Amino acid sequence: MRNAANEAAEAAFVPALPFALVSNRETLVGRGCLRLVGEAGKSSGESSGTRTRAFFAEQASGPRIIVGALPFAAGAPAHLYQPAEIARSAGRSRLAAAFPPALVRAAVPALQWRVEAEPPLAAYRVAVAEVLARMARGEEGLRKVVLSRSLRLLSDRPIEASALLRALAQDAHVTAFCVPLAGGPSGRALVGATPELLVARQGLDVISHPLAGSARRLPDAGADRAAAQTLMASDKDRREHAEVVTAILDLLTPHCAALAHPGEPQLSATATMWHLGTRIEGRLRDEAMSALDLAALLHPTPAVCGTSREAAARTIAELEGYERGFYAGAAGWVDEGGDGAWHVAIRCAEIAGNEARLYAGAGIVPGSDPVAEGEETSAKFAALLGAFGIDEDGRAAGEPRA
């Protein structure tokens, strides 16, 4: 059912930037917006998958694809729309054409930054300690909680999301994404570089590649390899990882005729982080289950929320002190046939005018150490901060400490 509020929102959404997903496999660029997928129907329990099917049935024109972002929180609105044009090409070849560098860039002095930690690192450690205390008391059967913190970056000029996307897309191990958002200043966008695939569907084939368990990569090759080996051998990280794999397998099993995964987690690398990863491949029983239905089924996995899901979500809402928005949600696409891919929206920033809001989380399980978990979130911020050319205190990268 359409109403006046939906129609007003549809009329108002004119993306200043293209939607983009950029990986070694493919660059998918969606320009403009023909129509938003409305939220009407959600209150009566209609899923995003049902609403996109109804959308395609109603709209005869335009590309047969929906792109956008899913929020972290169950009740928050998704941001899904039909672009006016869609272009798909192999590899990263079309990125520069879709997000061209500003011609006068060389003459522009570097941005000046102020960085505010919200909450401060010390408060984050206190929150981690509180989660551990609740687990030790056996509260709500909590086994894992992914607690995040946020950095608010303020620059002296509007931040260019295109430049950030180009910088992030240089890491060959990630899917860089740009989702233009409605509301706020022109150019508001969610931009990130995620190593984690929530789910992809092609025909009956389904893939999920969850990550959990992390170590910072190191400049010295020997020390870097040793950090990876320590991660592989870490009982705490393996328990953190197992929670995610078990949850995804439990959710996919009733929907799959076949499901396969390696018995052991594998090392997965980005330019700045090591992770434990497990690639899960399945064969769906029913092709009516779209990539968006699968994303809704799996999200939020214990890679971004915890176990049990409901208790962890309550704990996060209570202890983090801010709305996650689209952080720890998903960015992706679904087409009329139900194929699509949804990537976990981590290692990302919401850009609005002169401000960027960055988020990073770490999985807390019994045995976690509040100081080490804080350091892990700092390591996860490094990819975004590096793309801006600054460190966590707002100093230009390489500038000596005072």
Ligand X SMILES: C=C(O[C@H]1C=CC=C(C(=O)O)[C@@H]1O)C(=O)O
CB of 362 to ligand X, least distance (A): 4
CB of 380 to ligand X, least distance (A): 4
For ligand X, the closer CB: 35 or 239: 239
Is 125:374 a contact under the CB 8 Å cutoff?
yes
Q: What is the CA radius of gyration of the chain?
A: 20
CB of 61 to ligand X, least distance (A): 38
For ligand X, the closer CB: 39 or 196: 196
Own/partner pairs, 60-67, CB within 8 angstroms, 24+ separation? 61/34, 62/34, 62/35, 63/30, 63/34, 64/335, 64/336, 64/337, 65/30, 65/333, 65/334, 65/335, 65/336, 66/37, 66/292, 66/333, 66/334, 66/335, 67/19, 67/28, 67/30, 67/179, 67/332, 67/333
Tell me the C-alpha distance between 248 and 22, whole Å.
Answer: 25
Which amino acids are annotated catalytic?
144, 196
Helix (H) or strand (E) holding 237: helix 235-252
CB of 397 to ligand X, least distance (A): 20
Burial class (CB in 10 A: 0-12, 13-18, 19+), 354: middle
For ligand X, the closer CB: 127 or 360: 360
For ligand X, the closer CB: 55 or 327: 327
CB of 52 to ligand X, least distance (A): 26
For ligand X, the closer CB: 81 or 359: 359
Residue by residue, DSSP assigns 11-65 as HH---SS-EEEE-SSEEEEEES-SEE---TTTTTT--HHHHHHHHHHH--SS-SE
Residue by residue, DSSP assigns 189-230 as EEEEEE--EEEEEETTEEEEE-EEEEEE--SSHHHHHHHHHH
Tell me the C-alpha distance between 224 and 218, whole Å.
Answer: 5
Look at residue 143 and give its three-state secondary structure.
coil
Is 145:364 a contact under the CB 8 Å cutoff?
yes
For ligand X, the closer CB: 68 or 210: 210
How many C-beta neighbours within 10 Å does residue 389 have? 14
Residue 267: which of 215, 200, 306, 328 has the closest Cα? 215
Task: Tell me the H-state helices in 261-345.
Answer: 291-298, 309-320
Binding site for ligand X (CB under 6 A): 146, 148, 196, 211-214, 240, 275, 303-304, 346-347, 360-363, 380
For ligand X, the closer CB: 332 or 363: 363
CB of 361 to ligand X, least distance (A): 3
Count CA atoms within 13 Å of residue 346 on its CB side.
Answer: 29
CB of 58 to ligand X, least distance (A): 36
CB of 158 to ligand X, least distance (A): 25
For ligand X, the closer CB: 347 or 357: 347
Is 282:191 a contact under the CB 8 Å cutoff?
no
Look at residue 156 and give its three-state secondary structure.
coil
Tell me the C-alpha distance between 252 and 226, whole Å.
Answer: 34
Tell me the C-alpha distance between 371 and 373, whole Å.
Answer: 5
